[in-house]
Amino acid sequence: MVTTRPGGSPVGDLLREWRQRRHRSQLDLALDAEVSARHLSFVETGRSKPSRELVLHLADHLDVPLRERNGLLLAAGYAPVYGQRAIDDDAMAPVREALDKVLAGHEPYPALVVDRHWDIVAANGSALALMGGLVAPELQAPPINALRVLLHPDGLAPHITNLADYSAHVLHRLRHQATLAQDPALLDLYQELEAYPGVAATSPAVHDLAALVFTTLQLRVEGQDLALFSTLTTFGTALDVTLAELLIESFYPADEATSAVLRSLSTP
């Protein structure tokens, strides 16, 4: 919750907070956004009311999530511009169809779609088969949280042979996401995961850029060792809040042996 300073304004204080979260000075932001530093200062202090266009322009340069951009507009006295439809809304049918095609096209390798809190929205057969055989039923009750499934002691954690390094990689990514979004639910999730046995909040690999990008998930499944790496895909040009917050995590085999095992698991 933002407390407006005496003489300030809700939108001015919000913009200042987002600027400070991004570690940007007024001058740096003003130069980048090509606005007067004096005018930006007046907006932040409440001496000048920003136009709707300026609010969106500054939010874009501060990489403010769409959900929070709507909040900025409301604080400035304008109507939100970004819609928000539930994923099961009729209007989202083309999105669901596209996601289904992406997930099916990734078979026989696991892939899933998650929302902003890492709750699973959809998953392909390979991902569901992997979870079904290794994850306790209570963790598979909706809403299924992908990170909880991954690191919980009744989830995949006992089968992850590099749990310390991989959990540190996951927590580093989650902490970065929580900091950028300033989402209390993500911070709560981080603290929950950090407290799980065997989970490490940091490891030497976290400080290695190559390890952050290529850290593999090493699993032992039915006596066979699997090595997977994943990519995250977002809808970068989305104008709907729900769509903008979706992530597609696609897992790939890191070696031919893993590829062969996954292909065999998907064979009826």
Q: Provide the angle, in degrees to the nearest 10, between the axes of the packed helices 52-61 and 66-75.
A: 150
Lateral strand order in the sheet of 224-234? 120-123, 111-114, 247-253, 224-234, 217-221
The residue among 201 and 69 whose pLDDT is bigger is 69
Q: Which pLDDT belongs to residue 5?
A: 47
Q: How far apart are CA 140 and CA 185, in angstroms?
A: 20
Instruction: Tell me which residue of 264, 248, 253, 263 sits closest to 99, measured CA to CA.
Output: 248
The alpha-helical segments, DSSP class H, found in the chain are 10-21, 26-33, 37-45, 52-61, 66-75, 93-105, 125-134, 146-151, 163-181, 184-194, 209-214, 241-244, 256-265
Is residue 155 within 8 A of residue 148, CB to CB? The reply is yes
> 168 or 207: which carries more pLDDT confidence?
168
* Residue 3 scores a pLDDT above 50: no
CA angle 158, 162, 168 (to 5 degrees): 100
Mean pLDDT, rounded, for 97-109 = 95
Predicted confidence band of residue 168 (pLDDT cuts 50, 70, 90): very high
pLDDT greater than 80 at residue 136: yes
Q: Tokens 């963790």 sit at which residue?
A: 139
* pLDDT value for 214: 66
Question: In this predicted structure, what is the pLDDT of residue 2?
Answer: 42
Task: List CB contacts of 23: < 8 A, sequence separation 6 or more.
Answer: none
Of the candidates 132, 161, 155, which has an alpha carbon nearest to the alpha carbon of residue 219? 161
Asked if pLDDT for residue 6 goes beyond 70, the answer is no
Interacting residues of 168 by C-beta distance below 8 A, sequence separation 6+:
200, 201, 202, 203, 205, 206
Residue 189 has pLDDT above 50, yes or no: yes
At 190 the pLDDT is 96
Share of the chain above pLDDT 90, in %: 74
Please tell me the pTM assigned to this model.
0.83
Q: Indicate if the pLDDT at residue 182 is higher than 70.
A: yes
Q: What is the mean pLDDT of residues 12-21?
A: 95
Work out the burial of residue 76: count CB atoms within 10 Å of its CB; fewer than 13 is exposed, 13-18 middle, 19 or more buried.
buried
Q: Residue 131 — pLDDT band, cuts 50, 70, 90?
A: confident
| Cis before 143 (ω within 30) | yes
* Domains of the chain in sequence order: 10-75 (1.10.260.40), 90-265 (3.30.450.180)
Q: Binning pLDDT at 50, 70 and 90, where does residue 265 land?
A: confident
Q: Position of tokens 């932040």?
A: 44
Q: What is the pLDDT of residue 222?
A: 83
CA distances from 107 to 100, 130, 226, 266 (A): 11, 13, 16, 8
CA–CA dist 250, 62 (Å, integer)? 28
pLDDT (tens digit per residue) in 29-65:
999 999 999 999 999 999 999 999 999 999 999 999 9
**How large is the angle between the packed helices 10-21 and 66-75, nearest 10 degrees?**
150
Torsion angle (degrees, nearest 10) of CA 42, 44, 47, 51: 90
Q: For residues 227-236, give the mean pLDDT.
A: 89
Q: What is the mean pLDDT of residues 212-232?
A: 87
Q: What percent of the chain has pLDDT over 70?
A: 91
Q: Which of 69-78, 81-90, 212-221 has the highest mean pLDDT?
A: 69-78
pLDDT of residue 208: 53
Whether 177 contacts 184, CB under 8 Å = no
